[in-house]
């Protein structure tokens, strides 16, 4: 049985999530503040963490950053009332894989949880096959086992979601990849509501792989389609 941690200082929300997730077949542990969430996340093995942002003792952004230092592959889904694009960007930059704004539909939460847990399970099951794989396109080298990319001999640590986006684009090298395809391959479902979320992740990826994210050399936007990964300097047909 897959084990989840729900961290939220709101008793009603925490109990609601615990009830619905338990009845969906998950084993659920809970935390009432940021320090408890971090302590449990670091000392127990979870398949996913649902993490509130505004919590006492330590906010969710800081909890997420600290978890990422020792458990870079652990899926983290943020549930919060802080729903501006700035807040979402901070959440993704902290290492979150997905972000749902309160008030939320519990069915949407269950859908996101299933997608993240499924993706994580696939990554774990194929890790041995990927451990020696290196993808190289121009100056970019991708190391699937460590979720790292190397550009001109400089290694850059990616979040799991950034890795999945880059991996997808490298598999479709030099071809435009639609937003729908990216959403489906990275998250396992396609929703127009999540296009902004995808764009935020792409922005974070550009910050790490581009010399100047405002003038990308590798990861280009294809108008009215999606994105395209090209060798440095090749931005034709965009």
Give the model confidence (pLDDT) of 29-76 as tens digits.
999 999 999 999 999 999 999 999 999 999 999 999 999 999 988 999
Q: What is the mean pLDDT of the chain?
A: 84
Same domain for 69 and 14: yes
Question: Is the residue at 236 inside a domain?
Answer: no
Calpha distance 145→117 (Å, rounded): 18
Q: Which residue has the higher pLDDT, 118 or 219?
A: 219
Count of structural domains, the chain = 2
Question: Is the residue at 161 inside a domain?
Answer: yes
Q: Is 81 within 8 Å of 101 (Cβ atoms)?
A: yes
Phi, psi of 92 (to 5 degrees): -65, -40
Query: How, if at all, do strands 76-80 and 154-157 pair?
Result: unpaired
Task: Return the DSSP state at 193.
Answer: G
Question: Is the residue at 92 inside a domain?
Answer: yes
Task: Classify 48 as helix, strand or coil.
Answer: strand
The yes-or-no verdict on residue 77 having pLDDT over 90 is yes
Question: Is the residue at 237 inside a domain?
Answer: no
Question: Is the residue at 234 inside a domain?
Answer: no
Task: Choose one of 86, 102, 125: the last residue of a domain.
Answer: 125
The yes-or-no verdict on residue 111 having pLDDT over 50 is yes
3-state helix, strand and coil shares in percent for the chain, rounded to the nearest 5: 45, 20, 35
Q: Which residue has the higher pLDDT, 44 or 112?
A: 44
CA-to-CA dists, residue 18 to 81, 182, 224, angstroms: 19, 30, 40
| Parent domain of 177 | 130-229
pTM score above 0.85: no
The yes-or-no verdict on residue 130 having pLDDT over 80 is no
| 235 contacts: CB under 8 Å, gap ≥ 6 | 216, 217, 220
The yes-or-no verdict on residue 129 having pLDDT over 60 is no
Closest alpha carbon to 29 in 57, 11, 50, 52? 50
Same domain for 120 and 10: yes
| CATH number reported for the structural domain that contains residue 172 in this entry | 1.10.10.10
Question: Is the residue at 74 inside a domain?
Answer: yes
CA-to-CA dists, residue 37 to 15, 46, 58, 61, 96, angstroms: 15, 12, 9, 12, 15
Same domain for 118 and 62: yes
Query: What are the residues facing 48 on neighbouring strands?
Result: 4
Give the mean pLDDT of 229-238.
65
């Amino acid at each position: 049985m897959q084990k989840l941690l729900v961290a939220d200082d709101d008793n009603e929300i925490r109990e609601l999530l615990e009830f619905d997730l338990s009845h969906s077949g998950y084993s659920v542990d809970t935390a009432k503040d940021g320090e408890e969430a971090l302590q449990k996340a670091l000392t127990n093995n979870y398949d996913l963490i649902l993490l509130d942002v505004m919590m006492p003792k330590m906010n969710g952004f800081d909890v997420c950053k600290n978890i990422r230092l020792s458990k870079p592959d652990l899926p983290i889904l943020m549930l919060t009332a802080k729903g501006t694009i700035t807040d979402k960007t901070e959440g993704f930059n902290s290492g979150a894989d997905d972000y749902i704004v309160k008030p939320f539909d519990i069915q949407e939460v269950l859908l996101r949880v299933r997608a993240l847990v499924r993706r994580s399970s696939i990554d774990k099951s194929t890790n041995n096959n990927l451990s020696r794989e290196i993808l190289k396109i121009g100056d970019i080298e991708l190391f699937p086992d460590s979720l790292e990319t190397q550009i001109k001999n400089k290694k850059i640590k990616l979040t799991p979601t950034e890795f999945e986006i880059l991996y997808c684009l490298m598999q479709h090298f030099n071809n435009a990849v639609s937003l729908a395809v990216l959403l489906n391959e990275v998250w396992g479902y396609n929703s127009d509501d999540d296009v902004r979320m995808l764009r935020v992740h792409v922005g974070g990826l550009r910050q790490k792989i581009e010399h100047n994210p405002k003038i990308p050399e590798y990861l280009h936007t294809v108008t009215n389609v999606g994105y395209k990964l090209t060798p440095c300097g090749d931005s034709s047909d965009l």
